[in-house]
């Protein structure tokens, strides 16, 4: 359960790096349409999860929605917390791994 508290912090950081720095700055340039910003940033986010193609596709799809929401509301905290909780639950249920053990290893024993 500690990962449900810790991973959202990492999720907020990831959202800041991707949404604010990439999508937000592309939007401020006023040279790109919203659709282009969403697709470019979502593609980058998906490719950051390479070489796991199922994760690339899943994160790309989720990023499309996240970026759209961010460009409308500019709230990184909600997206980061949701990202963290979704990622933690995904690790336990789909990947069948304990992310807390993988990160902190011997400290959790």
Grade residue 107 by pLDDT with cuts at 50, 70 and 90: low
What pLDDT is recorded for position 53? 85
What pLDDT is recorded for position 14? 86
What is the residue-wise DSSP string for 34-62?
HHHHHHHHHHHHHHTTTT-HHHHHHHHHH
Q: What pTM does this model have?
A: 0.77
d(CA 8, CA 10): 5
Q: Where are the domains of the chain?
A: 3-108
d(CA 12, CA 79): 7
pLDDT in tens, 35-89: 999 999 999 999 988 887 888 888 899 999 999 999 998 888 988 898 888 888 8
At which residue do the structure tokens 């912090």 appear? 9
| 3 vs 22, residue with greater confidence | 22
Length in residues, the chain:
109
What pLDDT is recorded for position 59? 86
């Amino acid at each position: 359960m500690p990962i449900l508290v810790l991973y959202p912090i990492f999720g907020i950081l990831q959202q800041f790096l991707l949404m604010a720095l990439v999508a937000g700055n592309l939007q401020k340039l006023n040279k790109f349409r919203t659709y282009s910003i969403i697709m470019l940033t979502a593609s980058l986010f998906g490719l950051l999860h390479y070489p796991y193609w199922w994760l690339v596709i899943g994160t790309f799809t989720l990023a499309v929605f996240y970026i759209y929401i961010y460009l409308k509301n500019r709230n990184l905290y909600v997206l980061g917390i949701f990202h963290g909780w979704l990622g933690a639950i995904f690790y336990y249920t789909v990947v069948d791994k304990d992310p807390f053990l993988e990160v902190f290893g011997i400290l959790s024993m």
